[in-house]
C-alpha cells in the first residue's frame, strides 16, 4: 500500500482551502448568523447584497458551480413567486405600471415583495453555501465531539447518503433502460411509462443496501458501549478562526439589540 496514503490519515484533514478547512460548527455559526441577519434587517438592498456576497465568496473558495446550480433555482422560485404573490396580497396606492391593462404593479407591493424575497434568499443562500463547503461526515464528527451520540450521527449521515445513493441508482437504471432500447425521453407520457419500471429495482436495491450497512455496522462493533475512534481528524480551530466567529456573534447580538430597541424604544 502507498505510504503517502497511510500518512494522509496520520495528520489532520486538510483541503488546502482556508474556508473549507474551517471547523464545520464555525461555518455553521458564521453563515447562520448572516442568514438570520437578513431576516432581522428585512431590507431588499441588504438581502440582495448578501446574496451577491455569497456568490462571490462561493467562487473565491472554488465552490461556485456547486453553489450556483441550486441557488439559481431557489432564486427563480422564491424571487418570482414572492413578487407575484405580494402583488395580490399587499394593497398599494402608487401604481407603477399596469400589466395587460388589468394587473396594477404598485410600489408598495413591489418593495414588500423585494424585502420578503431578499431575506428568504439571504437565509437560503447561507444554507446552500454551508452545505457546498462542508461534508456531512465532518459536521456529524464535530457534533459527536460536542456530545451527540454516534447513533444519531449515523442516522443523519445515512439519511443524506441514502438520498445520494437513490439518485445515482436512478440514473444508472435509466441508462440501463436506454441500453435495452426502452424509450425514457420525449414527452411526459413516455417519461411516466419509463419511470414506473425503475421503481422495482430501485426499492430492491435500497433494501439490499440497508442489509449490507447493517452487516457492516455489526462487523465494526457499532453498538459497543465504549469510546469510538475516528479514521479522520479535523484540525483544531486556529486563533483567527475563533476571532472571526466571535466578531460575527458579537455583530449579530448588537443587531438583535438594535432591532429590539427600534421596536420598543
Within a domain: 248: yes
Shared domain check, 243 and 123: yes
Give the total number of structural domains in the chain.
Answer: 2
Q: Cell triple for residue 52?
A: 451577491
What integer is the mean pLDDT of 93-121?
80
**What domain range includes position 86?**
17-134+233-254
pLDDT for position 128: 93
pLDDT per residue as tens digits for the range 115-156: 888 989 999 999 999 999 998 888 888 888 887 777 777 777
Per-residue three-class SS string for the chain = CCHHHHHCCCCCECCCCCCCCCCHHHHHHHHHHHHHHHHHHCCHHHHHHHHHHHHHHHHHCCCHHHHHHHHHHHHHHHHHHHHHHHHHHCCCCCEEEEECCCEEEEHHHHHHHHHHHHHHHHHHHHHHHHHHCCCHHHHHHHHHHCCCCHHHHHHHHHHHHHHHHHHHHHHHHHHHHHHCCCCCCCCHHHHHHHHHHHHHHHHHHHHHHHHHHHHHHHHCCCCCCCCCCCCCCECCCCHHHHHHHHHHHHHHHHHHHHHHHHHHC
pLDDT for position 100: 65
What integer is the mean pLDDT of 247-259?
94
pLDDT for position 90: 77
Within a domain: 199: yes
**Buried/exposed code over 30-51 (b: 16+ C-beta within 10 A; e: otherwise):** bbbbbbbbbeebeebebbbebb
Within a domain: 188: yes
pLDDT per residue as tens digits for the range 3-38: 666 656 666 667 777 888 889 999 999 999 999 999
Q: Is 60 exceeded by the pLDDT of residue 226?
A: yes
pLDDT for position 33: 95
Shared domain check, 193 and 171: yes
Shared domain check, 128 and 56: yes
Within a domain: 7: no
pLDDT for position 187: 66
pLDDT per residue as tens digits for the range 147-203: 777 777 777 777 777 777 777 777 777 777 777 666 666 666 666 666 677 777 777
Shared domain check, 168 and 130: no
Show the CA angle centred on residue 43, arms to residues 38 and 46, nearest 5°: 65
Average pLDDT, the chain: 80
Shared domain check, 130 and 43: yes
Within a domain: 130: yes
pLDDT per residue as tens digits for the range 64-84: 999 999 999 998 888 888 887
Shared domain check, 241 and 126: yes
Amino acid at each position: 500500500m502507498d505510504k503517502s496514503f497511510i500518512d494522509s490519515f496520520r495528520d489532520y484533514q486538510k483541503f488546502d482551502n482556508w474556508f473549507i478547512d474551517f471547523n464545520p460548527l464555525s461555518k455553521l455559526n458564521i453563515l447562520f448568523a448572516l442568514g438570520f441577519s437578513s431576516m432581522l434587517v428585512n431590507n431588499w438592498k441588504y438581502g440582495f447584497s448578501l446574496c451577491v456576497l455569497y456568490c462571490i465568496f462561493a467562487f473565491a473558495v472554488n465552490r461556485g458551480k456547486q453553489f450556483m446550480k441550486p441557488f439559481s433555482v431557489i432564486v427563480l422560485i422564491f424571487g418570482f413567486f414572492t413578487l407575484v404573490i405580494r402583488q395580490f396580497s399587499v394593497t398599494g396606492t402608487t401604481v407603477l405600471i399596469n400589466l395587460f391593462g388589468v394587473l396594477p404593479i404598485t410600489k408598495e407591493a413591489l418593495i414588500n415583495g423585494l424585502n420578503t424575497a431578499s431575506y428568504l434568499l439571504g437565509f437560503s443562500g447561507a444554507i446552500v453555501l454551508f452545505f457546498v463547503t462542508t461534508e456531512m461526515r465532518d459536521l456529524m464528527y464535530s457534533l459527536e465531539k460536542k456530545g451527540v451520540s454516534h447513533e444519531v450521527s449515523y442516522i443523519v449521515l445515512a439519511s443524506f447518503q441514502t438520498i445520494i445513493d437513490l439518485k445515482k441508482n436512478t440514473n444508472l437504471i435509466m441508462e440501463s433502460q436506454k441500453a435495452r432500447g426502452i424509450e425514457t425521453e420525449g414527452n411526459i407520457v413516455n417519461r411516466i411509462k419509463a419511470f414506473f419500471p425503475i421503481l422495482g429495482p430501485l426499492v430492491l436495491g435500497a433494501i439490499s443496501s440497508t442489509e449490507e450497512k447493517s452487516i457492516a455496522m455489526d462487523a465494526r462493533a457499532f453498538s459497543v458501549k465504549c469510546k469510538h475512534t475516528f479514521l479522520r481528524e479535523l484540525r483544531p480551530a486556529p486563533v483567527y478562526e475563533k476571532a472571526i466567529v466571535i466578531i460575527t456573534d458579537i455583530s449579530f447580538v448588537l443587531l438583535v439589540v438594535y432591532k429590539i430597541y427600534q421596536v420598543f424604544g
